[in-house]
Amino acid sequence: MKIEVELDPARAELLVKVLSPGETAELAALLARLEEPERLLGFRDGKAVPLEAAEVLRFYGEDKEVRAQTAEGVYTVRLRLYELEERLDRRTFLRVSHSEIVNWKRVTALDLSLTGTIRVALEGGVTTYVSRRYVKKIKEVLGI
């Protein structure tokens, strides 16, 4: 995929134009992502709450549900982790285990001294671990 950006100060609003040689899976995925709302819905105490993805510390599986943890609390999300992984910005959110996705912009420290895993400290004193299966991938992303 090639991306070109053209700045036009005379334009009143943003225009996105996609040129494609045909209908491809890549085109369908791109269009779906552009059309998706930027917010997620979290559910807590019988109420639906719009969540900004950037405010979420982590998404994780618990009791056969997916939770979103923010500074304000924990919400249930009605998407599967693999759906969230496809939908979220891959430069910000990274899968650290089979059951967890972490917001790397909310990471405060990484403890690499543990054998076979990495301890991840998030804002608000939240701690999680990278599973052994994902350690190599995380180290590659971090350039370690």
Q: Three-state SS across 15-69?
A: CCCCCCCCCCHHHHHHHHHHHCCCEEEEEECCEEEEEEHHHEEEEEEECCEEEEE
Q: Which of 26-35, 70-79, 86-95 shows the lowest per-residue confidence on average (mean pLDDT)?
A: 26-35
CB distance 122 to 130 below 8 Å: no
The type of residue at 98 is H
Q: What is the pLDDT of residue 128?
A: 94
Counted residue by residue, the chain has a size of 144
Q: What is the pLDDT of residue 34?
A: 73
Separation between Cα atoms, residue 50 and residue 43, nearest integer Å: 9
Cβ neighbours of residue 72 closer than 8 Å, sequence gap 6 or more: none
Using one digit for the tens of pLDDT, what is the confidence trace for 83-109? 998 888 888 899 999 999 999 999 999
* CA trace torsion 26, 29, 30, 33 (10° rounding): -170
Question: Can you tell me which residue has the tokens 């070109």?
Answer: 4
Using one digit for the tens of pLDDT, what is the confidence trace for 31-55? 877 766 556 899 999 999 999 888 9
> Which residue, 37, 41, 59, is CA-closest to 51?
41
